[in-house]
Amino acid sequence: MKEVARRAGVSIATVSHVINGTRYVSPETKEKVLKTIEGLNYVPNSAAQNLRNKKSRMIRIITPVIGEGTSKRLHMGMINAISHAMGEKGYGILFSSLDYEDGDQIGSMLTHAVDGLIIVSPTTRLCRFIANSDPAYPVLFLDYRPMEDEQGCFIYINHFSMLYEAVSDLLVKGGRQAIAFLENDEPCVKNIECNQAYKKAIRDSSRGLDDSLVAAAAAAVGNGYAMAERLIEQCHADAVVCTDETLSIGVARYFIEKKPDIPCIIYNQSGWDEALKPIRSIKVSDDELGRRAAEIMLELMADPEKKDRLYPFRTELTP
């Protein structure tokens, strides 16, 4: 930059203003500086500039250590969308898959110089650990509903609304009288919300709840098949709603083999049910969710005051 200034006969500050656009420079002087830059084949050192501004132009994404399956497919789809959206804005991505119970791993990540951190499907313990660490950059928790006393920025997947609407449509528009509900037997926020949505839709339609139509089982394909068989053939369900991906595979197998002429709605992130009617799927658009996460992170970096927000994201229902 000093050599550019010397050859152009201007100050170093003027060269900086031409490069960065931080102050008005007359067209004649600007042209002279640019020609000098071109003649010297000078490339501004963006890395040094970022260090000076304490900006790395890097975003870190952390996911839990998980195996194959629905969660991994959803997480990788979101990461791809985030990477693409942030890349369009000139940001690079650092990706880590960590054990959320290992405080040392997480702590070491917080010491790295990044402009923002996105944590996918965190645990409550991890959220509180991050809050106590008070990083110098914005943190976005993705796919997590905070407890009442938790502070931060969260994108929360709303499982209630779409399932409530789907069950209500089966009751009101579809004229169904005995809708079976099948979930896995693990206590989690998603199960609680889906169960509440199902029961509220039943109550709001002025029908009484039939406990024999509500079932829970360990997440196994065979259990899904067996429960579908029992709910339809013994409990006489005239529609089936299943909110677990693995159980849904078994439910779909039952429908393929026995072909009951009743509606079926499952949670299915993979899209393998598209050729199976009357089966419909509730799923999360990983691409839209990832792009939304990137948009919010850009907002947080631009305005740190938005540090305590909850952003709901709705699931969608296939036609």
- Indicate the range of 55-59, 77-81, 161-165, 248-252 predicted with least confidence: 55-59
* Residue 61 φ/ψ, nearest 5 degrees: -115, 130
Looking at the structure, do residues 231 and 311 belong to the same domain, yes or no? no
Looking at the structure, do residues 71 and 135 belong to the same domain, yes or no? yes
Looking at the structure, do residues 193 and 258 belong to the same domain, yes or no? yes
Please write the tens of the pLDDT for every residue from 205-243.
Answer: 988 899 999 999 999 999 999 999 999 999 999 999 999
Looking at the structure, do residues 64 and 24 belong to the same domain, yes or no? no
Strands 279-283, 316-317: pairing kind: antiparallel
Any domain includes 49: no
Task: Please tell me the predicted confidence (pLDDT) of residue 44.
Answer: 58
Residue 307 has pLDDT above 90, yes or no: no
Q: How many domains does the chain divide into?
A: 3
Looking at the structure, do residues 81 and 127 belong to the same domain, yes or no? yes
| CATH code assigned at 19 | 1.10.260.40
Please write the tens of the pLDDT for every residue from 118-150.
Answer: 999 898 888 888 888 888 889 999 998 888 778
Residue type, 13: A
Looking at the structure, do residues 247 and 168 belong to the same domain, yes or no? yes
Looking at the structure, do residues 178 and 278 belong to the same domain, yes or no? yes
Task: Please tell me the predicted confidence (pLDDT) of residue 228.
Answer: 97
- State mean pLDDT over 100-104: 78
Looking at the structure, do residues 31 and 107 belong to the same domain, yes or no? no
Please write the tens of the pLDDT for every residue from 237-283.
Answer: 999 999 998 999 999 999 999 999 999 999 888 766 666 667 899 99
Half-sphere CA count of 119, side-chain side, radius 13 A:
25
| CATH code assigned at 174 | 3.40.50.2300
Residue 67 has pLDDT above 80, yes or no: no
- Indicate the range of 47-56, 91-100, 139-148 predicted with least confidence: 47-56
Please write the tens of the pLDDT for every residue from 78-88.
Answer: 999 999 999 99
Any domain includes 183: yes
Any domain includes 117: yes
More confident site: 294 or 18? 294
pLDDT interval class at 48 (50, 70, 90): very low
Looking at the structure, do residues 144 and 85 belong to the same domain, yes or no? yes
- State mean pLDDT over 152-157: 93
Looking at the structure, do residues 293 and 146 belong to the same domain, yes or no? yes
Task: Please tell me the predicted confidence (pLDDT) of residue 50.
Answer: 47
Q: Find all residues with CB under 8 Å of 4, minimum gap 6, and list them.
A: 15, 33, 36, 37, 40, 42
Structural domain for 26, as ranges: 2-44
